[in-house]
Chains A and B, each alone.
Chain A
């Protein structure tokens, strides 16, 4: 029972006031989203004269029609999906192998190699961007899918998380399985890996979300429109804002671009929250 509940038990007004304040905060939170949806349902011409026209009819779906007519947005959506899925698969694979290696196996230099990986947690993406850009230019990787996917695989968080997780599994489990005649590989695949599923889910969701929402690297690496991810694509139409008068169209694009992730969020809220907060604390 929280402090607020007990206070409320004594004085119902505190409770009512608390809920009123919360509702007000939630309305402020949701208002920009409703405003966006509202604008997206109005014709561009009407919005050009007065955006307050959003509070009265007529409403139209023509802006969404224009999006469906433009192939570019679908291309960006597919690019984002491909890049995020490949990054997630890559991070899960590399982190599981490395986490198992660091947590369970002994090899020369294990301790200081792990410390080296931990150090990487402190390196912000922005401080390696210039030389990473040079490296990818030299390898002709800009405007390619590998070019968009590879930098995400270098993030040390996954290795850190999986190492912690493997360490938390009792070693007796491996030993028992090996006494039963299981090989090292079988122990890894059949015994340990299934036990790490919760960590895999956390890491997978967090990686997918970060990759899906990444703006910094694709902005710098993908310069051709057909290689844009959804974030860069939406940004490119936004920067031309001054030239376009299609307010409604822009807002429809915002709704269209946020819909996939919001729908996923509604269904998997618990897991997403757990993954994002788990990754923040690390």
Chain B
């Protein structure tokens, strides 16, 4: 037992945070810093290591495969974040009521969120494949030919985006619902007295009241969708011809298939930079929210 007073600064008090800090420094901060160092080297698995400065980054900017992966990632974020933000908002507004039916529907829309990416892709592969998939069967019943959703370069990312929206819809819906509960009922009562219609109530009361949550949802989803990996790796292996290869899959292939680890580390620093920007934005938005309360 320590006799140290909590109010007085003492090294002994620091023992409480030491176990976590050791793990944190060894398994997060050290790999992060070592990664920056490694990204400045030409390195392979067999211990060959030579300092090359920013050469890896220069190589990345000229690498058409990497640039395609960056484009794919941004395109994927654009394909997923707006539908997620909008559909989830519509569901939350419709389901923000204390009835059993609403609770049941909320449960249904969140259920896919608890599944792992490997199960989600297993399910959706059998929905998307043109050879006997669910969509192909529905098209067949309507007398139409199947669509090669996973092997067409223009359709593959939208197909993966559809899978992802299905998978990720639950969380933004629940965040919106939590925000809607905070909107004071008096506002709606006053609006009803003024004979304001439902559309007016939505645009003048509901949306302005949950503005910050909308921003938060968009940022959280941007961060999440930037890290696209499992869906693409499992459904298409990044194909056809790299049309669905995101940045993380690029890092994985370069680092763990080609073992060009200095180069992979450089690519992962770029990913880190992109996500850092979004996280700082999220931090700023949430702090503002608390200041207002």
Contact = CB atoms under 8 A, between A and B. Distances in A.
Contacts of A195: none
Contacts of A39: 126
A281 B110 CA distance: 17
A123 interface: yes
A178 B20 CA distance: 27
Interface in B261-291: 261, 264-265, 268-269, 271-272, 275-276, 279-280, 283, 286
Contact of B24 (A120, A133, A174, A185): A120
Contact of A132 (B13, B31, B127, B132): B31
A277 interface: yes
B215 interface: no
Contact of A131 (B1, B20, B31): B31
Given A107-B13, A122-B275, A123-B272, A277 B175 contact: yes
Contacts of B265: 130-131
Contact of A25 (B2, B16, B91, B174): B91
B175 A280 contact: yes
B137 to A, nearest CB: 5
B147 interface: no
Contacts of A216: 229-230
A162 to B, nearest CB: 10
B30 interface: yes
B32 A238 contact: no
A31 B132 CA distance: 15
A257 interface: yes
B19 interface: yes
A153 interface: yes
B279 A130 contact: no
Interface stretch (A57-65, A67-75, A91-99): A91-99
Nearest to A5: B97
A56 to B, nearest CB: 13
Contact of A150 (B14, B27, B121, B223): B27
**Residue from the set B38, B106, B265, B271 with the largest chain A CB neighbour count within 10 Å:** B265
A273 B169 CA distance: 13
**Residue from the set A102, A128, A151 with the largest chain B CB neighbour count within 10 Å:** A128
Interface stretch (B62-70, B76-84, B111-119, B153-161): B111-119
Contacts of B269: 127
B17 interface: yes
- Interface footprint category on A: 35 or more
Given A101-B14, A151-B27, A261-B114, A6 B192 contact: yes
- Interface footprint category on B: 35 or more
B52 interface: no
Nearest to B254: A130
A281 B9 contact: no
Contact of B27 (A52, A101, A132, A239): A132
A29 B32 contact: no
A2 B91 CA distance: 13
Contacts of A282: 286
A253 B28 contact: no
Given A3-B206, A7-B197, A156-B24, A127 B279 contact: no
A101 B252 CA distance: 38
Interface string B10-28: 1111111101110110111
Contacts of A181: none
A213 B45 CA distance: 29
A31 B126 CA distance: 12
A199 interface: no
A277 B125 contact: no
B239 interface: no
Interface in A7-30: 7, 14, 18-19, 21-22, 25-26, 29-30
A66 interface: no
Given A32-B127, A131-B35, A282-B286, 14 more contacts: A2-B97, A25-B109, A26-B108, A36-B123, A52-B140, A105-B14, A110-B9, A128-B35, A133-B256, A215-B116, A216-B229, A232-B118, A261-B116, A277-B171
Q: What are the nearest 10 A-B pairs in CB distance?
A: A101-B16, A51-B132, A7-B198, A105-B13, A127-B272, A107-B14, A128-B31, A154-B27, A213-B116, A101-B17
19 contacts: A1-B188, A2-B97, A3-B206, A4-B93, A29-B111, A107-B13, A117-B24, A126-B268, A130-B251, A133-B255, A153-B27, A215-B116, A215-B117, A230-B116, A231-B119, A262-B115, A265-B111, A276-B113, A277-B175
